[in-house]
Amino acid sequence: MDLQIHSATDRAAPAKYRKVLTPWAVQGNLNPPIIERGSGSFFFDNHGKRYLDLTSGYVAVSLGHGHPKVVEAIQRQAEKLCWTASSYFNEVRADYAEALSRISPWPEEGARAHFASGGAEANDDMVKIARLVTRRPKILSAYRSYHGSTIGGSALTGVDRWRDPFPNIPGIVRFFAPYPYRSPFHAETAAQETARALDHVERILLHEGAANVAAIMLEPMTGSSGLVVYPPGYLEGLRTICDRHGILLAFDEVMTGFGRVGKAFASIRFGVAPDLLSFAKGASSSYTPLGGVLVRERLARFFDAELFDVGHTHAGHVLAVAGGLAALQVYEEEGLFERAIEIEAWLREGLGALQAKHAGVVGDVRGAGALFGLELISDPETRAPLVGWHHPGGSGPMKRFYATLLERRVHAYGRYNIVLVAPPLTIGREELAFGFDALDHALATLVPRSHRQP
């Protein structure tokens, strides 16, 4: 990701702030605001300036900041027990695993949960679980994807792979998934895109040997690598291919889970159940570092007689799962999974209006639920990306764009020419309108090719 925030505050921060190596950023010129506290859809810097969190942090703080019920639950748990070895049973862990099974895409069969500290770790573990169960080495992973920043996560990630130092791990084979706005299959209709994308997967399996493939892994809708909602029939087609070849279907629901797209999981919204899925981010609304893998019951049973050879010191960290359990209770009590559908209507309207106004630079508006994005272009005729897929978001026009947003007290992020808009599920319509206004000003800083001086 390129998350550099260059918009300088008035004063340079004291030297101690540079003792922290800021992720995904060249360190030298950083001078972002110093964030002290958060409340609802906003966070505040050390001068009391208020910023609207238009992307729920990194599409994670889905309850907004500081929800009192989750904060209290964490405080209560901290007084009792923060951590115990994963080898012991613990009631909070058990309650959370049971709740996850209930909301999982396998309502009758149920699921078992493995816990980790975040999304990348969960994805690494999901690969391990798939390999342990199938005893097969290969994993198919999509080019346009983001799966995290561990060695495993980077290797699974389809873009930026050349950027990490030697990220590859053996056995990962990449494929192209549908991308209707820029079809890699030269398709002219959604049906063609689906059919050709599925045929492409079949061909890869033919050459790689389907019997060597443990899992096909993908985000059921892509997040930071493009907000691509797959055309009808694609996920169903992958399900059929997996079933035919004894391959597991593994969904990365780190970004799409916990109501982000209007249901507990995107698998439910899109009507295709995988065999296992990873989660993180919204699970605890990022109040505690929490991720994990849900494994459908009939697969998890494998480990009743075999070693579950996966684990971490923080697997099922009691404070972390207490945050998850409390967050889930709030999502359900406040009907927030369903609320994402209401927000979807506001996003379609507001972002649609921005696209109409800035047609020279906003090529596409797409998404589902409260997970939307803008694809920025420099030329509506050719759809040339505003910045290329090797162009850090922290420089050039995107630097100006994000700096303008921050000057107008709005936080958002994205990658290359993709800008995410994924507010907390608790956001109000007026708060969102404030975000649209800032986006309007930021888009005005981008000059379409037709308006540039020769």
Ligand X SMILES: Cc1ncc(COP(=O)(O)O)c(C=O)c1O
287: its two tokens: 């109040």
Report which of 336, 334, 406, 393 is spatially closest to residue 370, judged by C-alpha positions.
Answer: 336
Q: CB of 117: closest distance to ligand X in angstroms?
A: 8
- Least distance to ligand X, CB of residue 214, Å: 18
Looking at beta carbons only, is 62 or 224 nearer to ligand X? 224
Choose, by CB under 6 A, the member of 63, 254, 294, 370 that binds ligand X.
254
CB of 122 to ligand X, least distance (A): 8
Is there binding between residue 414 and ligand X (CB under 6 A)? no
> Contact with ligand X (CB under 6 A): which of 65, 112, 131, 147?
147
Alpha-carbon gap, residue 33 to 43, rounded angstroms: 11
Among 64, 105, 118, 369, binds ligand X (CB under 6 A): 118
Segment contacting ligand X by CB under 6 A, of 41-49, 64-72, 140-148, 405-413:
140-148
Name the closest residue to ligand X (Cβ).
119
Contact (CB, 8 A) for 155 and 167: yes
Residues 436, 427: contact at Cβ < 8 Å?
no
Measured from the CB atom, the residue of 58 and 185 that comes closer to ligand X is 58
- Choices 69-77, 248-256, 309-317, 371-379 (CB under 6 A): range interacting with ligand X: 248-256
Segment lying near ligand X (by CB under 6 A), choices 31-39, 76-84, 247-255, 261-269: 247-255
Hey, which residues between 279 and 338 contact ligand X (CB under 6 A)?
A: 280, 291
Neighbours of 9 (CB within 10 A): 16
146 binds ligand X (CB under 6 A): yes
* Count of chain residues binding ligand X (CB under 6 A): 16
Of 280, 283, 213, the residue nearest 248 (C-alpha):
213
Q: Is 160 in the site for ligand X (CB under 6 A)?
A: no
Candidates 2, 53, 124, 219: give the one binding ligand X (CB under 6 A).
Answer: 219
Q: With the C-alpha atoms ordered 285, 286, 289, 291, is the resulting torsion angle positive or negative? A: positive
> Is position 119 an interface residue for ligand X (rule: CB under 6 A)?
yes
- What are the tokens at 447? 């000059």
| Stretch of residues binding ligand X (CB under 6 A), selected from 65-73, 251-259, 368-376, 437-445 | 251-259
Smaller CB separation from ligand X, 414 or 435: 414
Q: Does 105 bind ligand X (CB under 6 A)?
A: no
Structure tokens at 38: 């958060």
- The answer to whether 224 contacts ligand X (rule: CB under 6 A) is yes
* Distance of alpha carbon 330 from alpha carbon 423, whole angstroms: 17
Of 104, 369, 349, 366, the residue nearest 262 (C-alpha): 369
E strand or H helix at 314: none
Q: Which of 252, 275, 344, 364 binds ligand X (CB under 6 A)?
A: 252
Q: Which CA distances in Å does 66 have to 207, 285, 326, 395, 399?
A: 51, 10, 12, 32, 29
Interaction of residue 255 with ligand X, rule CB under 6 A = yes
Phi, psi of 329 (to 5 degrees): -60, -40
Pair type for strands 50-53 and 111-116: unpaired
Instruction: Kindly state the tokens that stand for 392.
Output: 């850090």
153: tokens are 């996560």
Binding site for ligand X (CB under 6 A): 58, 118-120, 123, 146-148, 219, 223-224, 252, 254-255, 280, 291
